[in-house]
Every structure is written in C-alpha cells, then in structure tokens.
Structure 1
Amino acid sequence: MAADPGGAAGPAGPAHAVPDARRRIPRTDALLRDPRLLDATGRFGPERVKSAVRRAQQQAREGAVPPDAVADAAVALLPRTASGLRPVINATGVLLHTNLGRAPLSAAARQAVQDAAGPTDVELDLTTGVRARRGRTALAALRARVPSAEAVHVVNNGAAALVLAATALAAGKEIVVSRGEMVEIGDGFRLPDLLVSTGARLWEVGTTNRTTVQDYAGAIGPETGFILKVHPSNFRITGFTRAADVGELAPLGVPVVADIGSGLPAPHPRLPDEPDARSQLEAGASLVTASGDKLLGGPQCGLVLGREDLVRAMSRHPLARALRVDKLTLAALEATLTGPKTPTEQALDADPEQLSRRAELLATALRADGVDARAVGSRATVGGGGAPGVTLPSAALSLPEPYATALREGPVPVVGRLDGGRCLLDLGSVPAEDDRRLAEAVRRVRAGER
C-alpha cells in the first residue's frame, strides 16, 4: 500500500513520539519530600498539605501550571499562618485598634505565652506537690503594680469583671448609677442590659449631663448593692455638665465600684483626664474594674482590684469559674506587668520629633524608588475607648489613595487611613522596628506585586 502523501501517521507514528506532559507531573509522595512541604506538614498537618499538593497537581493536569512547578504551586496554595488570623502592621494611628486586636503584646509577653504553651505549674506547687492557687504569680504581679489594692482578681475581659461584680455583690439588689453613664460598650452591648442580666436592678439617678452626689445619696437604701461609676467610652459630654467623683461618693456608706475601662494602672502625663486604678482606689473606690488589653498593654482580660472582702466574694462566686482566664493569658499578663515597657507604653511616650525623622527617612527612600511619598504631620489617638477626644502628636507617610487597598491586601497587610484623598500610614502606631517591613510593602505595591 502506498504511503500517505500527506505524511499522516498511524497509531505508532510521530504524533505520539513526545510523551503527554501530564505524565511528567510529580507523584504525591515525591512532592511531599520537598523541604518546604515537609516544613509545612509540621505547621499545618499532613492532610492540609496533601490537599494543597492535589490541587496543584490538578492545576498541572489542566495546563495552568507546568509539571516542574507543581511543588511551587502547592507551596503557594498553603496559608501563611496556621489560623485564619493574619498579622498586620497597624498604621492607622489608633494605638489600641479594637478591630486589630487592641494592645500588641510585648516581646516578653509573647515569649511567656510560648513558654506556657506546654504543661505548666499553673495550679501546682512544685515544692509540696499539692494544688496551688491558680495564677498566683500573675496575681502577685498585678497586686505589686497597683499597691493601693488590698486584693486582685482576673477574669476573661472587662465586661466580665463588671458582670461578676454585679452578680456577686448586687444580685437581687439595686445598683445606683448615673443616667449619663448608661453607656454602650461596643458591638451593640449596652451597660444596662449587661447589668440587668445578672439579676440586679438599676436605680438611675441624675440626668444625662448633670448628676450630683445628692442624687446618689437620695437613692441609697437597704436594697443598695453598690454605687457604680462608669468612665464614658468613646465619647465626651461638654458644656453644662456635672458629675460626682469617687471621692464624693465614698463617704455615702455603700461600696463604690469604679469601672475605668481602659485599664491605666497609674496617672500618665499625656492623659491627664483618663482615670487610673491607683488614683481611684486612693480616692476611696471599693473596687476598680478594667480591661487588660488597653492602656495596660497586655492580653485580653478583665482586672478586679480593691477591698479584700469584696474581691474574695467575687473570686469565690460560682460564676468566677466560668469567667476565669487560661494559662496563656496569665503568662502574658505577668510578663506585661513585670517586663519592659509595652508597645502601648512606648507609643504613648513616643517623641514627635523622632516620629517625624522616621517619616522623612521613609519618604526619601521610597521617592528614590519612584513612589509618590511625602512625610506629613499627623495626630494619633488612643482608641479602645481610652482617652476620648485626646490626640497625640505624630507623623505619617502620605501615599496616593490607591495604595490603601493594595497595602491592605498584600502578603504583609498594612492598614492605614484615608485623609484628604491620600493614604496615610501613621507611624504613631507603628514600632520603629517595623519601618523596614513597611517600606518593603510599599515598594511591592509600586512594583505591581501583591
């Protein structure tokens, strides 16, 4: 039979001389021996890594990935962290940004959390071998930080501290509170609803803008559990106002519970109007409740400080067990209290001139790389309900507005703010050691990378 003049080949002809590229896709076991995927298995577990490998192999079968790049594709499909939480650079200028987890922990606190991740002596006396008070060293550190308190206790957040006080000291009784202090504490949680849920009854006194000591005195009776003083969060009332302070209320003959919210342990020169635990106790407060993850600069927890008999009643109440903190929180809290300055303290004490120099250096370096970057003055805020209305002198890196979204979506997310059609990266909330990472993130956007 004559050969086909068109050169068509039979089943064994040239069309099958080159193997199908899909046959070159590496086997799963071979891919899992890649050092990067071996390391990922230790961080994410074998099933998660195998799933990424299978997805990468499927991409190669569909022609989207070359066979020799399957391992790279599998690595790219893996998450950056073992949880859904992603570390970000907070360049908003809000020191305690609630949406970003409030206070960043110090290096000492982070190390303490890592050290406490395994078995610890959290409730064991290693000398005697018998059960010991839970978190005793953290409680001792808190007591030492605020020596005006006779006793201390720690629960899982600031609202829990107030709930435990109301439950242990005023369930079935009355809590006397000013109408001007019936606040909403965030995310729709309102103080009246929180307190009433404990079985206490609220006796509101005064008006929105004016409450006197006589208003409180007129409400006190045999059913009074305590007087509650609440520091307003995220707002200020100005003008024709009057509020009775703790020193005026202490002589009225019933316990005074001061909820200071932001957890400042002692007065701070840049926050002259922010209540602190030491001053409130010295003025006569029976108890102070506060958050640990705000101006204290520690982990999320609720602090209870004050009279020994009241703190004991709270700590021995059945609800205290449901509100207790874990060993990691205790470790971070103790390291915060006994260690060096926290990032929050450093930010509060930052030198405005030094912030300006950092901004100028960053802007100059980025302009050399073709970025429209400028150093500008700025005003930072405390955030987290602390020091409402107070601003702190700061400096920022000003970039074109589109950078805001690109930086937020980058591999190292940077969260800034928009102001006057520009993206501002406020250095008041950025530790100096993060300047290099900040600049790299901006350069990545300039280069069109994500």
Structure 2
Amino acid sequence: MKKELFRQIPKVDVFLSDKELLEVLGDSPRPLLVKAVRDVLEDLRAGIAAGKVQEVDVDRIREEIKSELKKLLRPKLHRVINATGVVLHTNLGRAPISERVAEHLKEIITGYSNLEYDLEKGKRGLRYRNLEWILKELTGAEDVCVVNNNAGAVLLVLSALAKGKEVIVSRGELIEIGGSFRIPDVMAQSGAILKEVGTTNKTHLRDYESAINENTGLLLKVHTSNYKILGFTESVSTEELVELGRRYGIPVYEDLGSGSFIDVRKLGLSYEPTVQDVLKSGVDVVSFSGDKLLGGAQAGIILGKKEFIEKIKKHPLNRALRIDKMTLAVLEATLVYYLDEEKALKEIPTWRLLSQSPAVIRERAEKLVELLKPRLLDKALLEVVEDESEVGGGALPLQRLPTYCVAVKPLSLSVGELDCRLRSCEVPVIGRIKDERYLLDMRTVFDEELEILANNLFRVLKGSS
C-alpha cells in the first residue's frame, strides 16, 4: 500500500509548470517555488511512511504548495499589532517611529545621500556632523560619538579609556540586560579590569575611595534602569562620584541605559535622571540608548568632554560599531523634535503612548467593542476592563500605567487557541492572557489599527465553531 502511494506522488517538475502556482509566484524568484514544492512533497512522503496518509490527492497537494509558497513570499519581518500594553516592547521592535520620520527615511534610503560628503566644501565630510550639533544643542555636551547600540557604546568606552586598567563599579550595579549582556563580561572583553566595591544593597563613597590605586583608569556608575533594589539600601550619587574622580584625577563614566531628554515627572511618571541632569553633574562621559525613552532608532549615544570623546572616536572599535545611513536618518529626524519639547511629546510615538490619558484609551477600547459586538454575539463575551500597562525596554521597571483593555472570552475555543490564531493572522496580533480571558490593551494599539484588529478577531472567532 505504501509503495503504491509513493509511486502516485507527482514529480517536482509537474508543479513547477502549474499555471495556478506560477500565478502565485508572480515575478518572484523561481527557487522559492522549487523549495515550496519540495517541502510539501517531503512532508507527504513522511506522512505516507508514518502511515498517516492514505491517499495522494493532487489538488490538495497543489493547495498546500500554494499555502507554503505564500509563506515563503511573505517577509519574515513584518508589522504586528502590539496589544500587550508594553510601550517599549523589546521583542516587538521597541520604539515605533513617526510617519514624518519614516517619510524622511524613505527619501534617504531610496537614493543617494550626503552621508560622508560635505556639500559646502565639496569633499569628504564627517558622518556624525548633523547629529553633533543637535546633541550638543540639546545637552550642552562638548563632543559626541554614536555607535550601533548602547552595549556597543559601553564596550567602546571601556576599551578606549580603561584597557589594562581597573574600573571601579558598585557591586549593586553589575547589571545584566536582555540577551545575557553583563557588565562583567563586557568589561573582560574590553580589556579593562573589574574592581567591584560595596555590597549588593549598600555601597558607600569610602568603598570607591579605598579601591583607588595607581592602576585605576575609570570610575563607572551604571544606572539600574531595568530593576530597582528596595529597602535597606544606599548608593553613591553621580555628583559624589564626580567629586571623588576630580580629587584623584580619574575620569567618571555613567552608563545611563535608557536615556531621556524629557523629565518624565511632567507626565506623572517616576523620576528618571535626564541626560542633561547627568551631564550637569560633571561626568566625563555618559552613554544611553537611542531607541528606548528617546524614541528613535537603535543606537548607542556617547556624550561628554572633548578630550575623552576624541579618544573614543579614534579607537578602532568605533569603525566596527558605527551606525549606518538608516539609523542616522531616523535618529537625526527624531532628535530635531526635541528642540521643542512640546512638539517632541506630540510627534514622537513613544511619548504619545506614555502620556495618553485613561479616558482616551477607554474611548479606543469602547470603539473596538462597538466594531465587534454586532458580529460576535454568539462567539465571544466582550468587556472593557481596567488594567495596567508597562513602559518596557528596561525603563522605569516599577512604573505601572493605568489603562483599559478589551477582554475577550471566546465561547467555542480556548483562550490559548485564540492567542495562537491571532498570532497567525496576516497582520499578527500580540496580546496577553489574564484570568482566562484574552486582553487587548488599547494603550499600544493605534487608531488606524482598530479595523484590522476587529477583522482579525471576527475571522478567527467566526471559524471556531
């Protein structure tokens, strides 16, 4: 029986000339169709061998090849609807950029640009020139260097300023962030020597001072932006560390993690030091991310005193870690908004999402329910509920934001199955499960996504019976 089924499987060439499949392929590369055919036929053979397939249906094979081909033709990186309520969701791309910034990016990447060309002098220019004046204007920094992410910035700063020397850091600040990025590991990679002082919960100024010796190259302060140590704690302020560094002639570097140019307390959020605050404290170098609270592209921004930034710029790693034209275009266009804080709060999506009032979020939730209820009366129970959103992205870890969600209780399938099906939509939906209901947090759903979200839910739940 199995041998007969194997003989009935059409050859690959039969499907490579199939008109229906060629229509789906369009002008895409032929190897994609070849792969789709081979993958489907291989699965068919495996099914026959396992005794799971009892007949060979050519029409069914064709439909499976169509489905597989459509998957291959679809880019693996595509837009999703973030209904988790996590504003800076690392797994979902962190900060979305504004439409205007996207338009500027399209203009830059679809043609040539003056990336390293000085239009005034008619010769080679500096890649960071346009970023430099904006960042200096916004922060008062003497000099600027920008690399591809803040982990790279930390590695570069340590390599340029402290290779072969001891770097003193509080034991309570030896952080680990996503992707197993650990300060001790980066320190070892840079060639600097880790000198940890104090304890997990308490570090005093005297701990730093007693560790200083002739081989001390840097005093490092790491802002614990993705966690907090509470209770019986004590830490040394940036100002105190700067004063100590000046006394002994040792530079001070602060890794700020998720840097912000806006005082988040204006939005009713917990205090986070701004980049301007840190620079005013007198630190020699500070670095932070460009795609977290800043709301731009992934980048590691390094600011500080000219004598130290010059050393960092000249280090060979700077070339390896430098940003490309796309990152530069997004970052520059985003930073311009910060020249007018009110405009930044209005135009940068991260700040719009963080500053939304609960009333606006509730209105969006009620609109989604209005779109759904007439079509899903017998498929799911819908309710607008209060809940809490998160900032995410390793920023403000204790901050909870009041929000409203649409709670979906499917009647014909499990909540887990609903979650799985929504993730399989053409525009996938990512929400969260709580108390046996599927929550769609309206803080991170854009108004223009409501129709898509409603249609996805309708199609998924309609086919559940």
**TM exceeding 0.5:** yes
Higher alpha-carbon deviation: 323-332 or 107-116 = 107-116
Offset of 1:88 from its aligned partner?
A: 1.0
Amino acid across the alignment from 2:335? L
> Aligned residue for 1:349?
355
2:385 corresponds to which residue?
376
Instruction: Give distance in 2, aligned partners of 1:160 and 1:220.
Output: 26
**SS at structure 2 position matched to 1:373:** strand
**Structure 2 CA distance for aligned equivalents of residues 300 and 82 of structure 1:** 25
Q: Secondary structure in 2 aligned to 1:369?
A: helix
Task: Report the residue type matching 1:257 in the other structure.
Answer: Y
Sequence identity (%): 40
Give CA-to-partner distance per residue, 1:158-213, whole Å, 9 cap, x none.
Answer: 11101111000011111110010011122222111111211111111111111122
**Aligned-residue offset at 1:81:** 6.2
Note if contact 1:292-1:302 (Cα within 8 Å) is conserved in structure 2: yes
Structure 1 residues 80, 337: closer, same or farther in 2, change over 3 A?
Answer: farther
Q: Alignment partner of 1:134: what SS? A: coil
Q: 5 Å matches for 1:199-238?
A: 199-238=191-230
Size of the aligned set, in residue pairs, is 419
Distance 1:81 1:346, change over 3 A: farther
Contact 1:266 1:279 in 2 (8 A): no
Give the whole-Å Cα distance in 2 for the aligned partners of 1:33 and 1:188.
45
SS at match of 1:288: strand
Tell me whether 1:358 sits opposite 2:364 in the alignment: yes
Quote the residue 2:5 is aligned against.
Answer: none
Shift of residue 30 of structure 1? 6.1
Supply the distance in 1 between the matched residues of 2:150 and 2:25 (Cα, whole angstroms). 42
Q: What CA distance in whole angstroms lies between the structure 2 residues aligned with 1:292 and 1:194?
A: 20
Residues 1:407 and 2:403 aligned together: no
* Cα shift readout 1:205-254 (whole Å, capped 9, x = no counterpart): 11111112222222223322221111114321111111111111111112
Q: Quick one: which amino acid aligns to residue 191 of structure 1?
A: I
Q: Which residue of 319, 322, 326 maps to 1:321?
A: 319
Aligned partners of 2:16 and 2:33 also within 8 Å = no
After TM superposition, give the deviation of residue 76 of structure 1 in Å: 7.1
Task: Judging by fraction of residues, say which structure has more helix.
Answer: 2
Amino acid at match of 1:422: R
Query: What is the rounded CA distance, in whole Å, between the counterparts of 1:360 and 1:80 in structure 2?
Result: 37
| Equivalent of 2:448 in 429, 433, 438 | 433
RMSD over equivalenced CA pairs, Å: 3.0
Separation (CA, whole Å) in 2 of partners of 1:277 and 1:250: 15
Instruction: Please tell me the residue identity of whatever aligns with 1:348.
Output: L
Amino acid at match of 1:344: T
- In structure 1, how many angstroms separate the alpha carbons of the residues matched to 2:271 and 2:429? 32
Match for residue 128 of structure 1 among 110, 121, 124: 121
Q: TM-score, normalised by structure 1?
A: 0.84
Q: Read off the aligned partner of 2:187 and give its amino acid letter.
A: L
Say if 1:161 and 1:302, in contact at 8 Å, map to a contact too.
yes
Q: Which residue of 1 aligns with 2:309?
A: 311
- 1:73-100 deviation per Cα after TM superposition (whole angstroms, max 9, x unaligned): 7487223765322321111111111111
Match of 1:333 in 2: 331
> Can you give the 5+ residue segments of structure 2 that lack an aligned partner in the other structure?
1-10, 45-55, 338-343, 410-414
**Is the counterpart of residue 280 in structure 1 residue 275 in structure 2?**
no
> Match of 2:373, as an amino acid?
R
Could you say if the C-alpha distance between residues 351 and 442 of structure 1 is closer, same or farther in structure 2, counting changes exceeding 3 Å? Answer: same
Aligned AA (1:65): D
TM-score for the superposition, normalised by structure 2: 0.82
Q: Deviations over 1:136-177 (max 9, x none)?
A: 223333333x33211111101111101111000011111110
Residue 267 (str. 1) matches residue 263 (str. 2): yes
Corresponding position: 1:390 with 2:399: yes
Change (3 A) 1:293 1:129: same
The one-letter code of the counterpart of 1:345 is W
State the shift of 1:432 in Å.
2.3
Aligned position for 1:257: 253
CA distance in 2, matches of 1:391, 1:303: 27
